[in-house]
Amino acid sequence: MVLFIYTSIALLAFAANSLLCRMALVDGAIEPLPFTLVRLISGALLLALLVRPSLQEVKNLKDIQGSKTSWLSALSLSVYAFAFSWAYVGMDTGMGALILFASIQIILNVVAQILGAKVNALTLVGIVVAFSGLVILLLPGQSAPDFTSAAIMIIAGLGWAGFVFSGRNSQQPLKEVAIAFRWSLLWCIPLIFIIDWQGSSLRGISLAVVSGTLASGLGYALWYKVLPQLGLQNAAQVQLAVPVLAMIMGIIFLTEQISLTMLVACALILVGITLAIRSKKV
Task: Give me the tens of pLDDT residue by residue for the chain, a chain 282 residues long.
Answer: 788 899 999 999 999 999 999 999 988 899 999 999 999 999 999 999 989 888 888 777 777 666 788 899 999 999 999 999 999 998 889 889 988 988 887 788 778 777 777 767 787 787 788 778 877 777 766 566 788 998 999 999 999 999 988 888 888 888 999 999 999 999 999 999 999 898 899 999 999 999 999 999 999 999 988 988 888 777 777 887 888 899 889 999 999 888 888 788 878 877 877 776 666 555
Cβ count near 256 (within 10 Å)? 20
Domain that holds residue 214: 2-279
Kindly tell me the sign of the dihedral angle through the C-alpha atoms of 149, 41, 254, 104.
positive
Cβ count near 171 (within 10 Å)? 8
Q: How many domains does the chain have?
A: 1
pTM of the model: 0.88
